[in-house]
Amino acid sequence: MASSRTAGKPTQASAALTSALQALRGPFIVADLETTGLSTATCEILEFAAVRVETCGTLAREYTQVVRTASPVPSFITRLTGITQAEVDRHGVPVMQAFSSFLAFVEDLPVFFHNASFDRRFLGAAADQTGLPFLNPTNCTLALARRAWPELPSHKLDILARHVGASNPTHRALADVRTTVAVALAANARLALGQAAPA
């Protein structure tokens, strides 16, 4: 049994890579969330951002929205993201409104996140909270980057940004999305040409 499970893993990874490379032909969405912490049980989405990328790789439209969280913004999150309680009070909207607008923006397109499992957990929690389903196919640029540049010691977004010559991420969702777009397109170019080392 162990050998069959091991044999299945490369197939799953290969299928995910193929799906991601097909999605990158466009149009597709790159998105990011800022949250008030790591746990979906106790933390909330603080900011949504997304960019629509067309077939030619151009950035067509952007969406960003701060959420009026039920709990105060933790001070360490303000230090990390720059999102203050005053900004949330002034510009934030209820999660139902922000999530609905996000879903309208992404339509039915494939969505890329950096470390997609994290964002999917929070989107799933938002879906449960609001009753609005998130059904889009999702892909992970972290997994793409690991395949494209296995030689790098880390595949954090700031390291990848320096590696591909993109703008540094700032922990504001829209800035991080723009960086992730650059990483996704660079990884796609490398993987499509077969330049990456085999997994």
Which residues form the catalytic set? Answer: 171
φ/ψ (deg, to 5) at 70: -70, -35
DSSP 95-146: HHHHHHHHHHHHTTS-EEETTHHHHHHHHHHHHHHHS------EEEHHHHHH
Q: Give the three-class secondary structure for 35.
A: strand
Host H or E run for residue 59: strand 59-66
Pair 170, 176: CB distance under 8 Å: yes
Tokens describing residue 38: 């790591």
- Token pair 């994290």 is at which residue? 118
- 199 CB neighbour count, 10 Å cutoff: 11
Those residues whose C-beta lies under 8 Å from the C-beta of residue 137, and which sit 6 or more positions away, are 19, 23, 110, 111
- Token pair 């999605």 is at which residue? 23
